[in-house]
Amino acid sequence: MIVAEPKPVEEIKKMLDGYDKVLMVGCGTCTTVCLTGGEREVDLMATAVRLMHKVEGKDIQIGQQTILRQCDWEYIDELQNVEDYQAIVSFACGAGIQGLARRFTNIPVMPGVNTNFIGFNEEYGLYSEQCKACGECILDKTGGICPVARCAKGLLNGPCGGTNNGKCEISSDKDCAWVLIYNQLEGQGKLDQFKQILAPKDYGKAGNIRMLDLRK
């Protein structure tokens, strides 16, 4: 799932300078699950911003709504009375934030979170990066472990000379992705794949504006 982290309340307050009627919109999927942008988090942020304004002797009116997804027109259209507000703060990932900006073109839409990566839920509140959304998946060749996301250098053929006792040279707490790949392939009886040299990736598939059409 997409993993994000909340922006500091001071940053959000600064974004809202000059506005006194704001709508904060939560997202009921990814950012809710990672405890960043659901109904509870929107409520906490709205309360914090109101208090900061009150301390300064200012008033701000903040509306709060949460929809299931902000990356889907069907749910964006469930938002009510948006035209009554001067600005919107979205607590969705970058795609959802831009979804609101595309729908409500005459109202500034601001990010309430920083979108970090596509990750796996290791345990409650702990997420690890697993995928870079590179557009050219090679997991069939690497035992289901992504070297692009999980190797510090993004090496397609490894390990490098920095691995030490199965750990990455950047940190003794970080497993070397290519040692993990080797062990995985060994356990599957597919070490012959480890010897295959992978061609350079076409990073243009990740760097361009992409659209996936499944309507055909």
Go through the domains of the chain in sequence order and give each one's CATH number: 2-117 (3.40.50.2300), 134-204 (no CATH)
Q: What is the pLDDT of residue 124?
A: 86
Beta-carbon contacts of residue 157 (< 8 Å; ≥ 6 apart): 197, 198
Check: CB of residue 25 under 8 Å from CB of residue 67: yes
* pLDDT per residue as tens digits for the range 136-182: 889 989 999 999 999 999 999 999 999 999 999 999 999 999 999 99
> Between the CA of residue 61 and those of 17, 21, 31, what are the distances in Å?
13, 5, 24
Residue 179's pLDDT is 97
pTM: predicted TM-score of the whole model, two decimal places: 0.82
Q: What is the mean pLDDT of each run of 10 residues along the chain (216 residues)?
A: 94 95 97 95 98 95 98 96 97 95 94 93 89 89 94 94 95 95 94 92 69 62
pLDDT value of residue 210: 59
**Residue written as token pair 């979205």:** 90
For residue 42, what are its two tokens? 């929107």
Position 25 scores a pLDDT of 98
Rounded to whole angstroms, how far apart are CA atoms 67 and 158?
A: 44
